[in-house]
Structure 1
Amino acid sequence: TTLNREALKDIDTLSTKEKDRSQNFFALGIAFWMFDRPMETTIEWVNKKFAKKPDVAKANITALQTGYNFGNTIRAFQNRYRIRPAVLEPGTYRKVTGNQATAMGLVTAAQKMGKPLFYGTYPITPASDILHALAPLRHFDVRTFQAEDEIAAMGSVIGAAFGGAFAVTGTSGPGIALKSEAINLAVALELPMVIVNVQRGGPSTGLPTKTEQSDLLQAMFGRNGESPVAIVAPRSPSDAFDMAIMAARMAIRATTPVMILSDGFLGNSSEPWRIPNADDIEPIEVKHPQGLKEGADVFFPYERDPETMARPWAIPGTPGLEHRIGGLAKAPITGNVSYVPEHHEQMVWERAEKIARLADFIPEQDVFGPAAGELLVISWGGTFGAVRTGVARAQEKGYRVAHAHVRYINPFPRNLEDLMQRYDRILVPELNGGQLAFLLRGKFGVDVVSYPKLHGRPFKISEIANKIEEVLSR
């Protein structure tokens, strides 16, 4: 405070209280010096922001420059950091968090399918920012509903999906636990919707403000009966935009709930995001039956598409398409309540098959590094940055190591099994007790080295690099 007041003593038109408001610019100037960043853009912004208050602009700029000079003169800091500009494709960029990008991706998906977006939710850390981002967007036909609890929120989403809207809910692990019975109903009804889980540390209330990836098995198996849902996981804040759109495409294609597994670190972190051209994003085709098929006397709500195994998404009130839905076991094709053993088994396998067939719709798994080698590191979710950089450092040391970051978890990419067989060893770092490693062993019968971390914090690059060397030295 004293240093800032001394720097601004010659500005007589401002009171001491008004001058003290410039202290944040003094601190910002120190940060500019510490990270060796130019101040011209910020000075330009200050002049524009306070164009009608030139004395305030002068005070803020003076404080900023004084803070920079203070850092340069006093040498109180042990280190100074130089951050090189990111190598980015040409385009228009903005800073975006994972939760913001998820919200924008959901709105884009709704626009591309020509549907209103219904977002029914109950506030919970660290997912509430999605609601905050969507609530002001009524002009994009976005309708947000803050329910009294998690169960009611999920029920509202089921109703919106049945009514023909693009229906979405968002929560974190405790909310998924409460929503699980209603999610199960959505699986039985076979309605398209997206469920966003911004994971945090558990169990129970756990670590509300810390990150974790411990809800993977909950997403896979956390419902009674054979109840599969499709699962995707963005790798970065900007990737959350693309994966939200892809989740919508998968939900519509298979008439199924799709779960997005984000996490607290990814959801709250930010990065530069190149704003896409809306015209470059392919439309999402939605087919609603408009009436009975030619020559038919009755509507069959569970007559499946031979390619996708999806059932018809019939809008209530369409003449001739009246049908019943509910959680009781159903007969194939007709959807009538049925306890016939063969009917139950057939419906179970049909629901599983339509999830499995999404493997033909999603992209194949890509690899960073050699197509075969000593070690393949498989990661997922918000661990991408640390793992990719750790692998790159190992490659610089001459190790034949590659990185596969899995964004599609149920189903897995169709080439993942073949890819894993090309490497001598497989390392799976994740922020849980080894859940992806468990799935890979069970699905493909491969021997993997699990590297779990449960600190409520992301991986460090050094942790990944050191673990790679440790595994390869055995």
Structure 2
Amino acid sequence: MNLIDKNVLLNQPDREEVESAVVRLAGDSGDGMQLTGGQFTLATALAGNDLATFPDFPAEIRAPAGTTFGVSSFQINFGSRAIKTSGDSFDVLVAMNPAALKVELKGLKTSGMILADTGSFTDRNFRKAGYERNPLEDGSLNAYRLVALDISQLTMDSVKEYGLTNKEALRCKNLWTLGFVYWMFGRKRQATSDWLHAKFSKRPELASANIAALNAGHAFAETAEVLDGFQGFAVPPAAISPGQYRAVTGAEAMAWGLAAGCQLAELEMIFCSYPITPASSVLHTLSNMTAFGVTTFQAEDEIAAACAAIGASYAGGMGVTSSSGPGIALKGEAIGLAIST
């Protein structure tokens, strides 16, 4: 994190001004880290920062909860300068369970900040993550600035009045955490509140509960003084030329590139795939591009998808398939066939 000065941003007294920052959000696949990262990205874009993101999904299919294999992460690099990559080491790590801390700690800068949910740091989860003792208490994190909070309980307390089940209440803890991180970087909450109202329009009690959790996390961070003297960071807006901008994911860029390449080669593209995160987004994007000579085929399994793409190539088209880690393993024999013929 490149320090510029302190106490200079108007209306943000005592905040530490930084030119850029990298934040990594990590937890179980069911902890909503991709959603949390997406909303933080939206708030950051609206704040005028340049940014780049990196969603990091687990390779395993349905990895057991609490294990290192099931950690899902989202990284964002943002700042007042031109941002070209999602960043290498990060300044802030949000660890929703011990497995997330175990997997991601190596990427955190020395003296970086850790926000950990102590409610998930149980003996059972320690064993799943491969810890012999509690890393929050054994001194192994002394090189970092640790904020250890029972986010699970704080979330349940904040949504108690909405009559949710314990399971539904705990699903709001990513929004509580998001509120805390919003305060850390001076982000506004209105866009996320609007999004929640739209998402849960048929279940307004869920919208209200999630918004309450978001506001509670923000209020807690603002008033609790969890780190002595820390008043949050301030990241000035970037000097971005006026105009209309849009967010582009890697999957969308890949889909557009494939379509453009086939257009230039004057070949019809036949995209054959089986749904699997994160490759499904490429299939979703291309399914709306039939006007550009794209045909999509959702196969019954990974092997069929690979074989269909090979068949399309034999017939003179541009056969393409997609997948991720375990899916590629299933396609191995068909890929070998394509190479040998």
TM band (smaller chain): 0.3 to 0.5
- Structure number with the higher strand fraction is 2
Superposition TM-score, scaled by structure 1 size = 0.30
**For the pair shown, which has the larger CA radius of gyration, 1 or 2?**
1
Superposition TM-score, scaled by structure 2 size = 0.39
Name which structure has the greater RCO, CA cutoff 8 Å, separation 6+. Answer: 2
